[in-house]
Structure 1
Amino acid sequence: MLTVRRERELEEGINKRLSRKLDRQWKKSIVVRPPPSLKKLQEEEAAAEAEKSS
């Protein structure tokens, strides 16, 4: 039983070290963003705070 990663390495003919390097780059390229629902909630809270202070 091969892992998915190892299967990909064999299919694409890339060696283990290179694939780990690629995986690391891929992992770093992922940017964690808050979900749109949370963003909307935060904007509403900020607007409410601005109204209170003025």
Structure 2
Amino acid sequence: MRILVATTNLGKIKEFQDIFPSKIEILSLKDLNIDIDVLRMEKLFVKML
């Protein structure tokens, strides 16, 4: 399973990596080469893929 975390805060991504088992891949929009500059830094959106 993959979890997509749409945030500009790399610390939040690290938090998700610490919470979920290693078999779950945590991706950011940056990992998918999607421009995340349009997102507000304080917003966090999580979608199960």
Higher strand proportion (structure 1 or 2): 2
Higher helix proportion (structure 1 or 2): 1
- Same fold per superposition (TM over 0.5): no
Could you say which structure has the larger radius of gyration? 1
Bin for the TM-score computed over the shorter chain: under 0.3
Name the TM-score, length of structure 2 as normaliser. 0.28
